[in-house]
Homo-oligomer: A and B are copies of this chain.
Amino acid sequence: MKLIDSSTEHKILEAAKTEFLEFGLYGARMQNIANRAGINKALLHYYFRNKEKLFDKVFESALERYFSNMDIMSDNRLDFKERVHLLVDRFLDFLEEYPQMALFLIKEVSANEALFIEKVEKSQKGNITLLKALLEARDSGVISVQDPLLFFVQLISMCTYPFVAKPLFTVIASRNGTNWNSAAIKAMRTSIHNFIDHQLNPI
């Protein structure tokens, strides 16, 4: 049947995701998205009134995916410190699967902070964030950490920036006879886990 068949909509969203992830809101071209989806450009506007609306959908789902990694922090069956380790693993898996995601989010958040705030309220509703969990765990004496915000920022930085600046690190590494490859990223993983162990001290 034709009515409920939203395969076109799906194709469009996939194409838009690819294009927006690569070129961002302003760099992306509606014509390219139409081409990728194998449809006419006018059809884009039929399904998603305009570029911003379409971008909105992609951005929202990207954000949701990003923050969904933090769900694990509310799993009370696990030891707190264990949760942080698992979160980092999930987060790194996520970034390895979508290497462009980090830079995409940063670019768009910087370009339109207001939209980000709005979306965060929406997609994060009910979810607990890592920072919130850290603050609560410290306040309730579950864990000892000297500065939760600083720990949070450094942890996220060590996880994310290597992917954000991958081209830069790749070039610099290769110019010095080493390689910033997946083996190096594996080493990075264990190093980050060490960092967690050193900074979070159970009481």
Question: Does A184 count as interface, using CB distance less than 8 angstroms?
Answer: yes
Question: Does A87 count as interface, using CB distance less than 8 angstroms?
Answer: no
Q: Specify which chain B residues have a CB less than 8 angstroms from the CB of A149 in the assembled complex.
A: 173, 178, 180, 184
Give the contacting residue for A131; candidates B109, B120, B176; CB below 8 A: B176
A173 to B150 alpha-carbon distance, docked (Å): 10
Interface size on A, residues (CB 8 A): 46
A120 to B176 alpha-carbon distance, docked (Å): 13
Q: Specify which chain B residues have a CB less than 8 angstroms from the CB of A178 in the assembled complex.
A: 131, 135, 148-149
Q: Could you say which of A11-19, A48-56, A72-80, A161-169 contacts chain B?
A: A161-169
Say whether A167 contacts B110, CB under 8 Å.
Answer: yes
Give the contacting residue for A129; candidates B107, B117, B176; CB below 8 A: B176
Q: Tell me how far the C-beta of A116 lies from the nearest C-beta in chain B, rounded to whole angstroms.
A: 7
In A158-187, which residues have CB < 8 Å from any B CB?
158, 160-162, 164-165, 167-169, 171-173, 175-178, 180, 184, 187
Give the contacting residue for A176; candidates B27, B116, B132, B161; CB below 8 A: B132
Question: Does A46 count as interface, using CB distance less than 8 angstroms?
Answer: no
Say whether A167 contacts B116, CB under 8 Å.
Answer: yes
Q: Specify which chain B residues have a CB less than 8 angstroms from the CB of A27 in the assembled complex.
A: 26, 111
Q: Using a CB–CB distance below 8 Å, which chain A residues touch chain B?
A: 26-27, 103, 105-107, 109-111, 113, 116-117, 120, 129, 131-132, 135, 147-150, 153-154, 156-158, 160-162, 164-165, 167-169, 171-173, 175-178, 180, 184, 187-188, 191
A sample of 16 more A-B contacts (CB under 8 A), given A109-B168, A132-B176, is A103-B107, A105-B168, A106-B165, A110-B167, A116-B168, A131-B172, A148-B178, A149-B178, A149-B184, A153-B161, A153-B188, A156-B165, A157-B162, A158-B158, A160-B161, A160-B165
Q: Would you mind naming 5 contact pairs between A and B with Cβ atoms under 8 Å apart?
A: A106-B168, A107-B107, A109-B165, A154-B188, A161-B161
